[in-house]
C-alpha cells in the first residue's frame, strides 16, 4: 500500500522515503562512509548523521551471551533480544546432549572451533553456566568475560536463571562502555 501525504503544495511518498532510508542503512552497514552514501544517493551527509542518531539503540561494546543448561531459556532469550545483545547461544540440557550426540567427533570439533572463533569477535561475552564451564569460557576467549554462575559442575539438569540478574549484568556492561 502506497501512502501519500500532502504537505502544503507537495505530495510526499512514504514508500520513497522508506526505500531511501533502507538504502542508506544498508550501505552504512556494509561500511560506506556517510559522505559516500550521501554522494551516491543525493542526500545531505548531515541527514544521514541525524537519521542514525534517531535510530541509535546502543553505542559501544558488542555483546554475546552463551549459556547452558537453562530452564527458562525462552524468557532469557527474550531479555537478550530486548537488551540488544548481538549474539546469543543458549541451550537446555536436552538440547546440549542432542547437539553433542548428533555429530561425529570431527564435526563437533569443527563446530566448537567455529563457535569459539565467532564469540572471540565480541567485546564482552556473558557466560551462564557452572563454575567449571565459566572458567573454561574465560580461559578460551580473549575478550572480557562476565560469568553468571548457576551451580557447581557437573550440571546435569536445567537451572533457572534469574532474569533480573541477567538484565543487571547487561545494563552494567552497556553503561560501562559508553
pTM of the model: 0.68
Topology given in CATH for the domain delimited by 63-176: Rossmann fold (3.40.50)
The one-digit pLDDT tens for each residue of the chain (178 residues) are 668 999 999 999 999 999 999 999 999 988 889 999 999 999 999 999 999 888 765 567 789 999 999 999 999 999 999 998 999 999 999 999 999 999 999 999 999 999 999 999 888 999 999 999 999 999 999 779 999 999 999 999 999 999 999 999 999 888 876 5
All structural domains of the chain with their residue ranges:
4-55, 63-176
Between β-strands 124-130 and 87-90, what pairing exists: parallel, antiparallel or unpaired? unpaired
Fold assignment, 4-55: Arc Repressor Mutant, subunit A (1.10.10)
Q: What is the dihedral of CA 61, 67, 71, 76, to 10 degrees?
A: 10
50: closest CA among 62, 61, 34, 29?
34
Amino acid at each position: 500500500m502506497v501512502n501519500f501525504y500532502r504537505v502544503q503544495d507537495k505530495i510526499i511518498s512514504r514508500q520513497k522515503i522508506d526505500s531511501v532510508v533502507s538504502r542508506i542503512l544498508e550501505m552504512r552497514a556494509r561500511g560506506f562512509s556517510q559522505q559516500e552514501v550521501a554522494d551516491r544517493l543525493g542526500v545531505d551527509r548531515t541527514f544521514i548523521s541525524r537519521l542514525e542518531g534517531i535510530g541509535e539503540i546502543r553505542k559501544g561494546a558488542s555483546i554475546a551471551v552463551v549459556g547452558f543448561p537453562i530452564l527458562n531459556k525462552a524468557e532469557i532469550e527474550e531479555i537478550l533480544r530486548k537488551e540488544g545483545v548481538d549474539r546469543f547461544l543458549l541451550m537446555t540440557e536436552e538440547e546440549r546432549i542432542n547437539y553433542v550426540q548428533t555429530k561425529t567427533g570431527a564435526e563437533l570439533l569443527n563446530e566448537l572451533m567455529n563457535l569459539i572463533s565467532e564469540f572471540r569477535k565480541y567485546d564482552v561475552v556473558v557466560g551462564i553456566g557452572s563454575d567449571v564451564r565459566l572458567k573454561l569460557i574465560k580461559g578460551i576467549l580473549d575478550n572480557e568475560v562476565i560469568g553468571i554462575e548457576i551451580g557447581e559442575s557437573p550440571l546435569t539438569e536445567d537451572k533457572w536463571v534469574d532474569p533480573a540478574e541477567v538484565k543487571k549484568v547487561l545494563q552494567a556492561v552497556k553503561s560501562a562502555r559508553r
